[in-house]
Amino acid sequence: MNRLQRLHDAGQSIWLDYIDRTMLHDGTLARRIADEALTGMTSNPTIFEKALAEGTAYDAQLTALPDGLSALEMFEQVAGQDVQHACDAFRAIYDRTDGADGYVSLEVSPTMANDADGTLVEARRLWALVDRPNLMIKVPGTAAGADATRRLVAEGINVNVTLLFSTDAYARVIDAYLSGLEDRLDAGGPIDRIASVASFFISRVDSEIDKRLDALAATRPEGERHRILALKGKAAIANAKLAYALFRERFSGARWQRLATAGARLQRPLWASTSTKNPAYRDVLYVEALVGPDTVNTMPPATVVAFADHGETRRTIDVDVEDARRLVRDLATAGISLDDATAQLLREGLASFQKSFDALIAGLERKRALLASAGAA
């Protein structure tokens, strides 16, 4: 049994945080599903920006699109087609697991991050465009995103809530999911085929907290400096363990039991941004430290390969939770606010995705012009 299969058998779904058209058609994705225990896929504006900017895989479709489409409409057409093919590649897993797994995510425009109504309109459009039951619409984990999540779930649309950094934001998202299920159930609708994940970003938390700890330590005496620096590389895992504890708490009790009796599925925590940014840390740190049942880890290709080579699987997600709580208190005592850091990370994450989305749209405009001039010649 390979290492990735062991991870899967520990109750953690392995999703690939990457998509491009070539891998969908040359057998690469099918091979990786078979060999690497992959059961889903995620995409985001940065991934699509890179895929569309490189090579000529999209040129034929772009050339064939009708005149008059905006760059956004062009993107939705090409991204929608890729996600359709990916959904089809994972459909056997979706069917075999009775809808428990086999999902592919497509994100609404980052410009909608603080617009619940706009998110709802775009999510409905993407849901209809792809037209696959194993699609998940990615919605940012803002207050507006939580509002949209409740309404989308009530309509029977699968949702991946992304860019979650704080447990407070996560609590809001859990409530939105449960409320959406309740709204649908109270209206007489079925809830047994609705799926959702809550994407908690991991490595970026350490990157930000470690930076703050370094800056703080530089201002302190040597003895105190050592104590401060000893906190580095621990915040991200602690934060995720507290999120998992919240997940277990909220998906129990009378409120959840009523929904579960009607067939509701858990909104699984998904660990995103799990590649290690600091070369001083083990390259599979954010996989090995967050293993547990009813979770998803979406990994970039390099992290999948690394875990297949030397990753170790044991249940870690609910081990030393009190140590995680103590770590957060120790950070606060040192003068580092986890709440402030995660709020900043959300702002930066939204800005980064917006930048990638803007670059993607501009790149599509340039490519359309190049293809038009080539055709005219």
Condensed to tens digits (0 to 9), the pLDDT of residues 161-185 reads 999 999 999 999 999 999 999 999 9
Nearest to 41 by CA among 294, 304, 223: 304
Across the chain, what does the average pLDDT equal? Answer: 95
Within a 10 A sphere around the Cβ of 360, how many other Cβ atoms?
A: 23
Burial bucket for residue 98 (CB in 10 Å: 0-12, 13-18, 19+): exposed
| Cβ pair 134, 116 in contact under 8 A | no
pLDDT at 294: 98
Q: 31-43: buried (b, 16+ CB within 10 Å) or exposed (e) per residue?
A: ebbeebbbbbbbb
At 269, the pLDDT band (50, 70, 90 cuts) reads very high
The pLDDT tens digits of the residues spanning 102-148 come to 999 999 999 999 999 999 999 999 999 999 999 999 999 999 999 99
Our measurement of the distance from residue 170's CA atom to the centroid of its chain's CA atoms, rounded to an integer in Å, reads: 13
For 376, residues 6+ apart whose C-beta sits below 8 A from its C-beta are none
The pLDDT tens digits of the residues spanning 296-353 come to 999 999 999 999 999 999 999 999 999 999 999 999 999 999 999 999 999 999 999 9
Beta strands in 10-59 (DSSP E): 12-17, 38-42
pLDDT at 48: 81
- DSSP code of residue 66: P
Least confident of 20-24, 228-232, 271-275: 20-24
Residues with active-site annotation: 138
